[in-house]
Amino acid sequence: MYQAKLQEENGEDFGKTTCTSEVQAAFILSSFVTFFSGLIILFLCRFLWRIIKKGGNFQGTGFVLDFLSSGSFHSSTLRRLYFYGVFRDRIEMLLSAQTFVGQVLVILVFVLSIGSLIIYFINSTDPVGSCSSYEDKTIPVDLIFNAFFSFYFGLRFLAADDKIKFWLEMNSIVDIFTIPPTFISYYLKSNWLGLRFLRALRLLELPRILQILQAIKTSNSVKFSKLLSIALSTWFTAAGFIHLVENFGDPWLKGRNSQNITYFESIYLVMATTSTVGFGDVVAKTSLGRTFIMFFTLGSLILFANYIPEMVELFANKRKYTSSYEVVKGKKFIVVCGNITVDSVTAFLRNFLRHRSGEINTEIVFLGEVTPSLELETIFKCYLAYTTFISGSALKWEDLRRVAVESAEACLIIANPLCSDLHAEDTSNIMRVLSIKNYYPKTRVIIQILQSHNKDFLPKIPSWNWSTGDNIICFAELKLGFMAQGCLVPGLCTFLTSLFVEQNKKISPKQTWQKYFLNSLKNKILTQRLSDDFAGMSFPEVSRLCFVKMNLMLIAIEYKSLFQSGYCGLILNPPAQIKLRKNTLGFFIAESPKEVKRALFYCATCHSDVYNPELIEKCDCKSKSRHHLSERYLNAEINLLSIMIVPIANSKYKFLLRHAVPCPLWTLPGNTEQESDKLDGSGMFHWCKAVPLEMVTLKRSEKSKHDFRNHIIACIFGDAHTALMGLRNFVMPLRASNYTRQELKDIVFLGSLDYMQKEWRFLRNFPHIYILPGSALYPADLQALNIEKCSMCAILAPSSKPSSSQTLVDTETIMATLNIGSLRIVPSTEKHSTKEVCLLDFRDSCGKSKYRRIPTLTELKNPSNIHFIEQIGGLEGNFTGTSLHLSASFSTGAVFSGNFLDSLLATAFYNYHVLELLQMLVTGGVSSQMELQLDKEKFTGLTDSYSTYSSGRMRCKLGLLSLEQTILSDIQPRTTFGQLFCGSLDCLGILCVGLYRMIDEEAHNPEHKRGVFVITRPANDLKLLPSDLVFCAIPFSTVCEKRGGDSSQPIHKVQNIVSRESSMNANLSYPTAVDPVSESTPQKLFSSVQSMEVKPSFFSETQQATPTLSFRLSTDTKANEIVKENEKENMKETLKENAP
């Protein structure tokens, strides 16, 4: 070794001596001998122990076993084992850093390891072939460190359960190859570098040490520290090996190919190799070094390609997503938090941005608790102009400050409807609301809630304010409400859903019915302030004028009470007695906001002779004040409210209603006490005394005792451990007070009795509810409920369960639908009522099919599972490969999915009035505005409050009427939908909004499986078919059955809440079969038709419809006559002003 001579000349001055080959071999062999000898000893011990254990199974094997089994040896062994076990437990506690002493020990070992590595770096500046004498002060220090490492190694060895596994651990290998050479150096009084570079592998413990010190807390910081420790330990260890072999040379060549290379140059070579960039200035010359570089290059590709970019990304994202949002003056923004995932963000952006496409000036700030994935980041980049993501939690004020919640337009909280624990999801979102309101009470909050009983906590927050736009979107309430409306009126859930579904795909319809259905999907619920020229006019007049002149369908208005200060409610199809005021908000079914602007721009002076809706634009006319009408409609309203107002003894009905224990307040007169209608304290729902569960539980063997007809079957899936679905929300619309007690249908729940016991405390005060323990998967249980005679069978989806695939979440509902769909029912020859006959004929395909299907309504949690229902339905002609809302099952009203409820979050932000209307239509009449008014009455100490028309039972109900077998048959002419709309509104006060039409293409249904589909807001000139059914908003006291000629059928009177001025409308005309408004050939707005004899019985029939009170309002006959005369004069002036 020629370099040894040079080192010998310079080494003596600095306490360095030349290391001979024998000394170097002693240092290296000490480590290898220790490792392999220890491993062999451990294997021999385990082998001998197994032989001894096997020998215990044989008798007479020798004196050794006899001695081991003797009593003295056995007792002493047990004592030793006990103390050894206690000692091991203490050591394990110490090494696991669960105690303060253990934490200090672990941190001390790591710090000393780093100190030993630093000593190696210092000594590496000397030539590898030299040995350091004990004159070097670092050698004794390193000896003390290794003595402590030996003690720590012994503790770990005693605590290890598997000694061989412990011997092969990374930390054990580091100690075995670094500690023995230290003791060899003490014996030889000189030290050599050797394998001390392996101490760099102790850097892998860095993340654990930082967590013990609580220096890192987030998942990203932990991940970053792990990646950093892996990279550093790999580089330092590889550089130490290169430094050793290159300076020492190949052993078989006796160092002739060695080169003098420093440790820093070794690190440089390793870094260049890791980055796959070789400059060639420093290279490995030994065979061992080159072989190592070959394998290290393969590993460095993985290290550099994965770990380094991920470290950079974590470091960059931490700075990127932890910054604060910069508020720009004049720029609006909202904060969105909660369930921030790829699916939820995609759905929210699609719904939020479609409301005002091209006019979005509101930025969306997403506050997420988890760093976004690459897929989510891609979405944010696609919508970079509208979105900003900031990492944080709404539960922390510091994060709320960073997103500037106090300056945001609103804070929207997204829930996860597919989570396994609905209650935990709701409570976490409620805590977010509480945190936001505590941070800044004036922040507007819109939250999604999954379970209905959890929404009761939100109004209890002191800063919660309905009037400032705070709103709740309850999934269970709306979803089950839609299902209930679909049970009351077939196809109604599809009708209402289509008003909120956005269809962006371009579909080419192949059949006529598909064309009608696709066109109806373009219609939406829109709001618009009405022109002041409508002030003083009744709703039927305004609705008719909007329909004929503007091609708009006005269905409801916002009504502000004169008697209840601040109360504002929505009225669907209000009666003629309610006069519109200035700045009244109207609700339309239309295609675009541009169309409904016509209702605002309408001027009776400028547009009286305009017949083209597109020409109705904003005019410069200044004579739009109609103050002379204010006194007129005030008198009419006083007259209406003097009769319609009913007192409520308890203004706290909202809380009673939600807990299903309302107190009976008023009864409607009947033949007997049992037959009278008992309503809850609000007057919104039918009520009965609490019924024990045992009294409504049915037995399959007692089918003859309960002969159900025209009933509703609800199939549920769940057990005692299933989360509550909130079946109260399903029952409430079915027990709404605007249906008489005779119109109520029996509700039979088919499911687990254990589950129904949990739900029953919310249902026990609703009449005519029954339970049959069983399952919809068994035909015998279905037949026990007379399913062949039911009006609708609803299959409700159970609460979400953890599943490996989202496709399997609807397994039970799909199987139940398959089971019910396989039943074939022979049409009954029994006599039915007019309404039942109408619907049965409609479903039986006009008698052409031998069997009829059971009418079902299936709920799907995953809309993509619709193809399973399509196969069961047997109806061809659907849009292949499209979404649920373009399927034949949805168009016919046989399936429902609540996934569209996500769009209501954006709807509530832009226009909460639309959400109010939806809640009123779906839930049976309860709305947040009504709850707000009752809250005010509660805190102002009112003992007696009054229920106005909008909150009492005298409200419209949605129904499905036949053109031939109901009172609509008396409307003439009714060739087109426009004629039917005007005629029914003028003569009957019934508002027609859609059609339920039969699919007539029998070529596509060879087995006569003829279905029906929904048409939302048909065109004015759409020709009607005799088999059409009409979706209508029907006044409460209107009897819809046609007066029959059969003497066995009772003669019914049309009870319509209209004033005498409605009889004058009977002389008005309806649109002809062609477009009533033609741009080229102006026509008269009205044409003559046959008048229908309607007996207005507002005052005479009021006594039958008004609840019996403990006192009655006194009315003055002369005052009533004056009001009637005023109404006649109002009508005459209105006709003159609107005449073409």
Write out pLDDT tens, residues 1116-1125. 343 344 434 5
Residue 873 pLDDT level (bands cut at 50, 70, 90): low
Write out pLDDT tens, residues 397-410. 999 999 999 999 99
Tokens at residue 990, please? 């019934």
pLDDT at 364 over 90: yes
By percentage, how much of the chain surpasses pLDDT 70? 71
pLDDT at 640 over 50: no
Residue 90 pLDDT level (bands cut at 50, 70, 90): confident
Number of C-beta neighbours around residue 836 at 10 A? 15
Residue-level pLDDT at 303: 72
pLDDT at 724 over 80: yes
Higher-confidence residue of 790 and 948: namely 790
Q: Are 518 and 509 in contact (CB under 8 A)?
A: yes
Residue 1061 pLDDT level (bands cut at 50, 70, 90): very low
Going along 425-520, which residue ranges are E strands? 445-449, 471-474
Number of C-beta neighbours around residue 357 at 10 A? 7
- Rg of the Cα trace of the chain? 42
For the segment 1035-1051, the average pLDDT, to the nearest whole number, is 60
The type of residue at 367 is L
Out of 428-442, 588-602, 946-960, least confident range: 946-960
For the segment 157-185, the average pLDDT, to the nearest whole number, is 85
Tokens at residue 1037, please? 């006291």
Residue 753 pLDDT level (bands cut at 50, 70, 90): very high
pLDDT at 979 over 80: yes
Contacts 24+ apart (CB under 8 A), 694-702: 696/769, 696/770, 696/771, 697/753, 697/770, 697/771, 697/772, 697/773, 698/748, 698/770, 698/771, 698/772, 698/784, 699/772, 700/772, 700/774, 700/780, 700/781, 700/784
Write out pLDDT tens, residues 532-560. 889 889 999 999 999 999 999 999 998 87
Residue-level pLDDT at 17: 67
Out of 350-359, 632-641, 732-741, 1012-1021, least confident range: 632-641
Residue-level pLDDT at 1116: 39
How far is C-alpha 503 from the geometric centre of its chain's CA atoms?
20
Tokens 């503790």 -> residue: 155
Residue 78 pLDDT level (bands cut at 50, 70, 90): low
Q: How distant, in Å, are the alpha carbons of 385, 833, 1048 from that of 1038?
A: 54, 17, 21
Residue-level pLDDT at 715: 95
Going along 602-758, which residue ranges are E strands? 646-648, 667-668, 677-678, 712-715, 747-751
Residue 991 pLDDT level (bands cut at 50, 70, 90): very high
Residue-level pLDDT at 521: 83
Higher-confidence residue of 1003 and 346: namely 346
* CA pair distance 607, 459, nearest whole angstrom: 46
Write out pLDDT tens, residues 498-523. 888 776 566 677 777 778 888 888 88
* CA pair distance 1117, 900, nearest whole angstrom: 53
* CA pair distance 676, 295, nearest whole angstrom: 91
Determine phi and psi for 744, rounding to 5 degrees: -70, 140
pLDDT at 611 over 90: no
pLDDT at 179 over 70: yes
For the segment 284-298, the average pLDDT, to the nearest whole number, is 85
The type of residue at 388 is T
* CA pair distance 172, 241, nearest whole angstrom: 19
Higher-confidence residue of 135 and 348: namely 348
Residue 631 pLDDT level (bands cut at 50, 70, 90): very low
Tokens 């004990």 -> residue: 134
Higher-confidence residue of 10 and 504: namely 504
Higher-confidence residue of 58 and 530: namely 530
Write out pLDDT tens, residues 15-33. 566 667 777 777 788 888 8
Higher-confidence residue of 263 and 947: namely 263
Residue 851 pLDDT level (bands cut at 50, 70, 90): low
Residue 435 pLDDT level (bands cut at 50, 70, 90): very high
Residue 217 pLDDT level (bands cut at 50, 70, 90): confident
* CA pair distance 373, 432, nearest whole angstrom: 23
Residue 952 pLDDT level (bands cut at 50, 70, 90): low
Out of 188-192, 834-838, 998-1002, 1118-1122, least confident range: 1118-1122
Number of C-beta neighbours around residue 1027 at 10 A? 18
Q: What is the dihedral of CA 866, 867, 868, 873, to 10 degrees?
A: 90
This prediction's pTM:
0.67
* CA pair distance 770, 994, nearest whole angstrom: 33
Q: Are 1032 and 961 in contact (CB under 8 A)?
A: yes
Burial 168-191 (b: 16+ CB within 10 A, else e): eeebbebbbbbbbbbebbbeeebb
684-687-692 Cα angle (round to 5): 145
For the segment 161-188, the average pLDDT, to the nearest whole number, is 85
Residue-level pLDDT at 273: 82
Tokens 């339970």 -> residue: 771
Full strand arrangement of the beta sheet holding 568-572:
524-529, 585-590, 553-560, 568-572
For the segment 83-94, the average pLDDT, to the nearest whole number, is 74
Write out pLDDT tens, residues 95-105. 777 788 888 88
Per DSSP, the three-state class of 170 is helix
* pLDDT, averaged across the chain: 75
pLDDT at 662 over 50: no
Determine phi and psi for 325, rounding to 5 degrees: -80, 130
* CA pair distance 388, 340, nearest whole angstrom: 13
